[in-house]
Amino acid sequence: MYKCVIIDDELHAVEYLENYISRLPNFEITGSYTDPLKALTDILEGPSVDLILMDVDMPEISGIELSKAIRKKTSKLVFTTSHTKYGFDAFEVEADGYILKPYNFAKFMQVINRLFIEPKQLEKSSENRRFFFVRTSKANNMKIVKVFFNEIIAIESNLNYVQIHTCQGSVETYMSLTELDLQLNQVPDLVRFQRSFIVNKSRIDNIEGNIIRMDNGLKISVGNYYKKSFDDFISKNLIKSNKRG
């Protein structure tokens, strides 16, 4: 069951979202707020959730400011707003979606389906597979190309496409990074340390500060949201000396 929180200073907007979410069998609303400061307190003191749907224009504290404080408490963050001008700000706080008001149930579901699509089983398990197929973009004649897991260096988000960087070159396919991440989430070496990239741990050449350099020269900065998991990865794999020097 996905746990969801709604934050909007307009009561009718909250009620619309409550109605939409009530139609989804796998979602449960754990909090609805018209007071963003109350939401801030409750979310910081409470358990993490799977989804926060939040307005941007709110009194006392904006949705952008609020999201910076609570981003680590939710797996997915979606902004709902009447203005397109906040798109860059939403990207900066690593929001997962952006719904422009007014919207209907169909538009709402487009975002939900993209974020919570059930992972397709690549046969029984991706762990037992050596490769998968993708269809390339129109610019590459929509060919079906085989991609070997162990040849993947990184997968990069590029608007509505993803660029799969391999040791054989790059393959572009029409798909969101979130969709591909969900379908490949059983592949142990593929991890996400940045909103726009999935990296192959075995293809990391070196790390300097928060910059990862892949073995093809590609440089990737670690996103703030992924900093803890990145630090955990380093801690588990770094060989240290017990000697003091």
Tell me the β-bridge partners of 27: 2
* 138 pLDDT more than 70: yes
Distance CA 137, CA 143 (A): 8
Percent of the chain topping pLDDT 70: 88
Residue 61 corresponds to which tokens in the numbers above?
């504290």
For 103-115, what is each residue's pLDDT tens digit?
899 889 988 888 8
Domains and CATH numbers, the chain: 2-115 (3.40.50.2300), 126-237 (2.40.50.1020)
For 189-234, what is each residue's pLDDT tens digit?
899 888 899 999 999 999 999 999 999 999 999 988 788 889 989 9
* 25 pLDDT more than 90: no
Q: Is the pTM of this model over 0.75?
A: no
Backbone angles phi, psi at 149, to 5 degrees: -55, -45
